Amino acid sequence: MKTKTIGFIGGGNMATSLISGLIASGHSPQQIWVSDTAPATLQAHTDQLHVNTTANNETVINEVEVVVLAVKPQILRDVALQIAPSLKQKNVLVVSIAAGISQQSLSKWLGSEVAIVRCMPNTPALVQTGATALHANANVDDEQKDLAENILRAVGLALWVNDENQLDAVTAVSGSGPAYFFLLMEAMEKAALELGLDERSARLLIQQTALGAAKIALESAESPAQLRARVTSPGGTTQQAIETFVQNGFVELVAKALHAANDRSIEMSKQLGAD
């Protein structure tokens, strides 16, 4: 891993998070390249992370063994078509973290022979606690799979899916998932204020409770249903709240929301991948 040169096309928040994670895990800044159209972004990477920077995407391709496409999905087609000739001259692994852009579209723009790993990270990667799903096309070898996985593991959990179509479900579950938890926290905070707590106390209690629940779930072999049962005493306050959730269609509403997000992911992929 430490002997590989890695380039980022696009130096935004997610790229910065990945670079920071790589450096924290022992990767040399001198083996990392970043290209971006904004001089201020490049200067920030130079000053703060001490990596190589350039405004030229082709320079990145020529210097690295793996390139991470970290630009907005809306401009990825133009970027991909621009760098395609350079990619044909080198055996470079391409890792795309752009939401909604299929491998079929990437292969069409970059070339059918290019090794491509498509990833679906989420925003907690910005604080090194991300959850990322990956899928590789047939051109990616085992060493390249390990490399892609190591890059994404620098900011949290990384796992592979067998079918690229599963990335739409991943988008609905973990890609959009942080917003669902924020919505629950928002609703809990509103109710806590109505119950008489001050805003600061309510927010801190809810945030720490969310963190604690996630930590228990991660460290336990039990299912969420089993964990819930453990903290739900018969006839107690928790049971009363859970029954209110269930009776008012909470489970069905969550399923409906995730299906809607999945459908929208499929729709966006078709729109963004169109010629």
Per residue in 74-100, pLDDT tens?
Answer: 999 999 999 999 998 888 999 999 988
> Average pLDDT, whole number, for the chain?
95
CB 40 within 8 A of CB 15: no
State the DSSP string of 46-68: IIII--EEES-HHHHHHH-SEEE
Burial class (CB in 10 A: 0-12, 13-18, 19+), 3: exposed
State the pLDDT confidence band at 103, using cuts at 50, 70 and 90. Answer: very high
What pTM was estimated for this model as a whole?
Answer: 0.89
How far apart (Å, rounded) are the C-alpha atoms in residues 97 and 28? Answer: 22
pLDDT at 153 over 70: yes
At residue 3, the pLDDT reads 62
How far apart (Å, rounded) are the C-alpha atoms in residues 16 and 118? Answer: 18
Per residue in 172-193, pLDDT tens?
Answer: 999 999 999 999 999 999 999 9
State the virtual CA torsion across 66, 67, 69, 70 in degrees, nearest 10.
100
Give the contacts of 87 (CB within 8 A, at least 6 positions apart). Answer: 61, 94, 110, 111, 114
How far apart (Å, rounded) are the C-alpha atoms in residues 209 and 206? Answer: 5
How far apart (Å, rounded) are the C-alpha atoms in residues 92 and 63? Answer: 10
Amino acid at 145: K
SS3 164: coil
pLDDT at 272 over 90: no
What percent of the chain shows pLDDT beyond 70? 98
SS3 159: strand
Per residue in 195-252, pLDDT tens?
Answer: 999 999 999 999 999 999 999 999 999 999 999 999 999 999 999 999 999 999 999 9
State the pLDDT confidence band at 62, using cuts at 50, 70 and 90. Answer: very high
At residue 171, the pLDDT reads 95
| Tokens, residue 243 | 């029954």
